[in-house]
């Protein structure tokens, strides 16, 4: 008799996450919002439930009714908007899923700062603010530059860096977060925890750009990014403090000399397909490993490799597109993903957040030199005029 497939409830997924989860030989039911439902998702045979992911009572009523008829074995999300509802569903239905406490701490950037306030990792000054008076009080106490952002923002949306007293302050219609601007080069750590034991899988270098130089326009995993003991201990202390027990972690930080400064942390994979970079560079499949962990299968990272991988997003000057060119109709084998969304007569605007970019590509290589050569090759064969 054929064994019953594991029934997974997947919240707010992008197409790539659905494809990845489906490859794990499980039955998938999708809970998402109408605005997130893509044309490709509508062609699939998966059951799709539509709801406002912020309306927790409505979601719980819908999912509990569905669960009574077709029980779920686990609930997961890999996107920021889905983490809290997934954790709440798991706690209510008593099925494996994201930790509720960890999800609540990570989803709210103010709660994250508050959780770390009495630790060495809490070395960035911060405050909740409701108006410009509170922001100016913070500036008078800590000086400039500062960062002002919504507590629940994603993809660099509405992130404001204030460098001078003459800079305009953002309009605030709720409680926001103000924090000191951390110095140094930006990185992220990709982690995986099993029963409270943490594994540091990769360090990702960030390339920032866009209108205010806060939008991530590139990520690179390089073998020479040595994970030293100090960084490992610093990261693991954060994971312990946010109560990360099982699953994927993504911690963004800056490093200046020997000092580390936390930007934010998440109990999910990093955005921009970082999970794919980790798989190409290390051989570790974080998504499959997470599902295996929740199902109860053995997970280990004994066969880790050391290669390079990068995702690069295009940055073109503002203006009207009269012509464009690229090599994606017949790409080299070492291009593992690409996206080109520019057409003639499109108006290219400055990149203001991660949701307003114009495509990109993923490449891998055996060395940093080869990786840079491949990135340059693609960029030299793409453009607009």
Distance (Å, whole) CA 244 – CA 226: 23
CATH of the domain at 225: 3.30.470.20
- Do 247 and 360 sit in the same domain of this protein? no
Residue 374 CA: distances (Å) to CA of 362, 377, 380: 10, 5, 10
- Do 187 and 300 sit in the same domain of this protein? yes
Look at residue 2 and tell me if it is in a domain: no
User: What secondary structure, in 3-state letters, does 235-286 show?
Assistant: HHHHHHHCCCCCEEEEEEEEEECCEEEEEEEECCCCCCCHHHHHHHHHCCCH
Which of 282, 306, 330 is a domain's end point? Answer: 306
pLDDT, tens digit, 9 for 90 and up, residues 346-360: 999 988 888 889 999
- Do 106 and 221 sit in the same domain of this protein? yes
- Do 26 and 108 sit in the same domain of this protein? no
pLDDT higher than 90, residue 18? yes
Mean pLDDT of the chain: 94
- Do 267 and 345 sit in the same domain of this protein? no
pLDDT, tens digit, 9 for 90 and up, residues 201-251: 999 999 988 776 778 899 999 876 567 889 999 999 999 999 999 999 999
- Do 261 and 133 sit in the same domain of this protein? no
- Do 332 and 217 sit in the same domain of this protein? no
Please name the residues in contact with 266: beta carbons below 8 A apart, sequence gap of 6 or more.
80, 83, 106, 249, 250, 251
Phi, psi of 290 (to 5 degrees): -65, -45
pLDDT band at 303 (very low <50, low <70, confident <90, very high): confident
Q: Please give the pLDDT value at position 276.
A: 97
- Do 255 and 159 sit in the same domain of this protein? no
Q: Provide the percentage of residues in the chain whose pLDDT is more than 90.
A: 85
Length of the chain: 385
Which of 248, 281, 306 is a domain's end point? Answer: 306
Look at residue 20 and tell me if it is in a domain: yes
Q: Of 288, 263, 270, which is closest to residue 204 (Cα–Cα)?
A: 270
Q: How many domains does the chain have?
A: 4
pLDDT, tens digit, 9 for 90 and up, residues 37-73: 999 999 998 999 999 999 999 999 999 999 999 999 9
* Cα-Cα-Cα-Cα dihedral sign, residues 291, 294, 296, 301: positive
Q: Please give the pLDDT value at position 294.
A: 96
Distance (Å, whole) CA 331 – CA 340: 12
Half-sphere exposure of 82 (CA within 13 A, CB side): 24
pLDDT, tens digit, 9 for 90 and up, residues 244-282: 999 999 999 999 998 999 999 999 999 999 999 999 999
- Do 192 and 288 sit in the same domain of this protein? yes
Region of residue 14 (left: phi > 0; alpha: psi -120 to 50; beta: else):
beta
Look at residue 1 and tell me if it is in a domain: no
pLDDT, tens digit, 9 for 90 and up, residues 143-197: 999 999 999 988 778 889 999 988 888 999 899 999 999 999 999 999 999 999 9
Residue 265 corresponds to which tokens in the numbers above? 């942390």
- Do 93 and 105 sit in the same domain of this protein? no
- Do 240 and 256 sit in the same domain of this protein? yes
User: Could you give the maximum distance between any two Cα atoms of the chain, in Å?
Assistant: 72
Which of 180, 198, 225 is a domain's end point? Answer: 180
Question: Which domain range does residue 133 map to?
Answer: 125-180
pLDDT higher than 50, residue 1? no
Look at residue 360 and tell me if it is in a domain: yes
**pTM of the full structure:** 0.93
Please name the residues in contact with 336: beta carbons below 8 A apart, sequence gap of 6 or more.
276, 280, 362, 363, 364
pLDDT, tens digit, 9 for 90 and up, residues 89-146: 999 999 999 999 999 999 999 999 999 999 999 999 999 999 999 999 999 999 999 9
- Do 91 and 108 sit in the same domain of this protein? no
């Amino acid at each position: 008799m054929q064994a019953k497939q594991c029934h997974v409830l997947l919240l707010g997924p992008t197409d790539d996450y659905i494809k990845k989860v489906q490859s794990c030989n499980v039955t998938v039911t999708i809970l998402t919002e109408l605005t997130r439902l893509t044309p490709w998702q509508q062609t699939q045979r998966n059951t799709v439930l539509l709801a406002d992911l912020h309306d927790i009572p409505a979601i719980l009523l819908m999912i509990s009714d569905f669960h009574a008829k077709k029980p779920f074995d686990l609930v997961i999300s890999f996107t920021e908007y889905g983490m809290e509802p997934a954790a709440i569903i798991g706690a209510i239905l008593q099925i494996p899923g994201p930790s509720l406490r960890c999800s609540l701490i990570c989803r709210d950037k103010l709660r994250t700062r508050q959780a770390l306030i009495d630790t060495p990792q809490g070395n960035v000054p911060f405050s909740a603010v409701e108006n410009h008076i509170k922001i100016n009080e913070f500036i008078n106490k800590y000086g400039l530059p500062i960062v002002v952002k919504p507590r629940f923002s994603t993809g660099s949306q509405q992130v404001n860096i204030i460098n001078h007293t003459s800079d305009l302050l953002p309009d605030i219609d709720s409680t926001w977060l103000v924090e000191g601007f951390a110095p140094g080069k930006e990185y992220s750590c990709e982690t995986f925890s099993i029963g409270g034991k943490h594994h540091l899988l990769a360090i990702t270098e960030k390339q920032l750009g866009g209108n205010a130089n806060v939008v991530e326009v590139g990520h690179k995993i390089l073998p020479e990014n040595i994970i030293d003991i100090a960084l490992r201990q610093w990261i693991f202390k954060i994971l312990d403090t946010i109560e990360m027990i099982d699953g994927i972690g993504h911690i963004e930080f800056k490093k200046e000399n020997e000092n580390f400064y936390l930007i934010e942390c998440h109990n999910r994979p990093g955005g921009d397909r970082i999970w794919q970079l980790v798989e190409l560079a290390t051989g570790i499949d974080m998504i499959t490993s997470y599902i295996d962990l929740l199902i109860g299968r053995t997970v280990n990272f004994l066969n880790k490799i050391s290669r390079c991988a990068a995702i690069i997003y295009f940055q073109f000057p503002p203006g009207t597109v009269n012509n464009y060119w690229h090599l994606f109709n017949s790409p080299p084998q070492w291009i593992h993903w690409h996206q080109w969304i520019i057409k003639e007569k499109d108006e290219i605007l400055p990149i203001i957040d991660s949701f307003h970019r114009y495509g990109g590509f993923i490449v891998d290589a055996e060395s940093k030199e080869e990786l840079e050569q491949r990135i340059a090759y693609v960029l030299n064969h793409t453009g607009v005029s």
